Amino acid sequence: MDVRIGVTQTPKEIEVELPSSADRAQVVKDIEASLANGEGVLWLTDRRGRTVGVPSAKVAYVEIGSSNDERRVGFGVG
């Protein structure tokens, strides 16, 4: 499962690839709890065991997708 986090005042995103065993509903619940009061840090651990922390007040958006989403390269007509 891939999680992309947009951070305020920067055009870059933070991308974290969670283990395939991660429960999507639990991840959403954990993210909502972390962001609920706007204080503290949103912590995620990727599939390699690295831990990423983003101050909750700086999170602009969170996008959750599956790691097997089709990734397109180039131009397409859709």
Tokens standing for residue 69: 């989403």
In sequence order, what are the residues at sequence separation of 6 or more whose Cβ sits closer than 8 angstroms to the Cβ of residue 42? 5, 31, 34, 35, 53, 54, 55, 56, 59, 62
Considering the entire predicted model, what is its pTM? 0.77
The matching CATH number, chosen from 1.10.530, 1.10.3470, 3.90.460, 2.30.30, for 2-65 is: 2.30.30
pLDDT, tens digit, 9 for 90 and up, residues 26-44: 999 999 999 998 889 999 9
Q: Which of the residues in the chain have pLDDT under 50?
A: none
Distance CA 39, CA 28 (A): 17
Please report, for the chain, the start and end positions of each structural domain, with discontinuous segments joined by +.
Answer: 2-65
